[in-house]
Amino acid sequence: MDRIGGIGVGIAVGWNIAILGPIATRLSHVYGVSLTVVLLFVTVQFVVHMLMQIPGGRAADRFGARNSALLGLILITLGNALSLPAPDAWLGFLGRAVVGVGTGFAFVGGSDYIRTRGGSPFLQGLYGSGSVLAPGIAVAVVPLLTDWLGWRAPYLSAVVVGGVCTALLGLAPAAARTARHVGERLESGFFRSRTLYRLAAIHAMSFGFSVVIGNTVVTLLEHHGHSKRSAAIAGSLTLLLGFFTRIAGGPLLRRSDASRWVAASLVLGGLAAIALALPLPYGALVAAAAVLGLAAGLPFAMAFTGAAVARPDAPGAAIGFINAWASLVIVAGTPLVGLTFSLPGDGRIGFVAVGILAALAALATPR
């Protein structure tokens, strides 16, 4: 039950990553605001999520990973419920801010829960795979749910997913706290660790990069002549297929050439993002989305397992630290790519720029 409850945390957090981007244009009409403002809902969520990463990690270290994750799941459900009453922008911003606090506690807490229950790198990869499987499904499903539930579809779906996952974790056994973590402050050397920054770079430009693409690719394809359904199907692959490679990333760490595989995945992901910006046939765009999704999942196990190993004195905080950098990429990248839809190329410039940065991140891969 502990594995089911822990992986459920990743699913609940992941569902909230990409529920607004796929219907951003429709939401902008309902809320009576610009597309950029709707994408700022996502930005607010990830700004708060980013700020909560290290505090969330320390909460898991000090008070128990399961307790921290449960609090996060409750806040995620509450935040989505706050956005339901009316399509008012202030409710949208408030709801995403509360969700950001929740995901900050839950994601790091869930990963640390897997670790403290004896989870292997394979299980860490499985946990991470749930967090990309969920948004991949959301990208495909939420646009279709709007035909039935209207503009409330993303929020209602997130309330249901959050409620179910909260119940599953509530039934799971608690994780014991590690006594030496309780009451300690982070050492000053924590923020000078070159290993953590290298791990942060590969995580940011795989996970963070894929979320930026996942939140904007449907809009890009729609603006360039593809139907809502076909755009949603192609766009979902940028997140959905990471499910398989995040699982594979755990056993990959046993190989002596693991760093080469991770570096290659960053280059391939970047090239695939550039391909999505080109006027290619729909089949080629689907293939590019699939390559991007597969490539983006591979570095996860190295990043999260490596962070916990690098700082055994504060594993939760270390995971939170590298995840904060991924959140920063999402915070800055989503609205910036959104702004490029008003430039020549209607969004294509943004995809090319993000793709180049992802490929360059391969240089930071630790050996």
* DSSP secondary structure string for all residues of 272-324: HHHHHTS---HHHHHHHHHHHHHHHHTTHHHHHHHHHHH-TTSHHHHHHHHHH
Nearest Cα to Cα of residue 102 among 81, 78, 130: 78
* Distance from C-alpha of 330 to C-alpha of 256, rounded to nearest angstrom: 31
Domain map (residue ranges) of the chain: 2-173+193-364
Res 200: pLDDT: 95
* Distance from C-alpha of 356 to C-alpha of 333, rounded to nearest angstrom: 13
Q: Which residue has the higher pLDDT, 124 or 62?
A: 62
Q: Which residue has the higher pLDDT, 334 or 328?
A: 328
Res 2: pLDDT: 59
Q: Give the rounded distance of the alpha carbon of 135 from its chain centre.
A: 8
* Distance from C-alpha of 56 to C-alpha of 323, rounded to nearest angstrom: 11
Residues 204-250: tens digit of each pLDDT: 999 889 889 987 888 899 888 888 788 888 888 887 888 888 888 87
Q: Find the radius of gyration of the CA atoms of the chain.
A: 19
Residues 250-272: tens digit of each pLDDT: 788 888 899 999 999 999 999 99
How open is the CA angle 96-338-353, to the nearest 5 degrees?
Answer: 120
Q: Would you identify the CATH topology of the domain 2-173+193-364? A: Growth Hormone; Chain: A; (1.20.1250)
Residues 97-152: tens digit of each pLDDT: 999 999 989 988 888 788 777 766 677 777 877 877 888 788 778 888 988 899 99
Predicted TM-score (pTM) of the model is 0.77
* Distance from C-alpha of 264 to C-alpha of 270, rounded to nearest angstrom: 10
The secondary structure of 214-275, three-state, reads HHHHHHHHHHCCCCHHHHHHHHHHHHHCHHHHHHHHHHHCCCCCHHHHHHHHHHHHHHHHHH
Contacts 24+ apart (CB under 8 A), 138-141: 138/14, 138/15, 138/17, 138/18, 138/19, 138/22, 139/18, 139/21, 139/22, 139/214, 139/218, 139/232, 139/235, 139/236, 139/238, 139/239, 139/240, 140/232, 140/233, 140/235, 140/236, 140/240
The 10 Å CB-count burial string (b at 16+, else e) for 239-266 is bbbbbbbbbbbbebbeeeebbebbbebb
Structure tokens at 40: 């700022």
Which stretch, 8-12, 93-97, 254-258, has highest mean pLDDT? 93-97
For the residues 282-287, what does the mean pLDDT come to?
94
DSSP track, 37-106: HHHHHHHHHHHHHHHTHHHHHHHHHHH-HHHHHHHHHHHHHHHHHHTSS---HHHHHHHHHHHHHHHHHH
**Mean pLDDT across the chain, nearest whole number?**
87
Residues 144-201: tens digit of each pLDDT: 898 889 999 999 999 999 999 999 998 887 765 554 444 456 676 788 889 999 999 9
* Distance from C-alpha of 23 to C-alpha of 151, rounded to nearest angstrom: 9
Residue 350 near residue 264, CB atoms below 8 Å: no
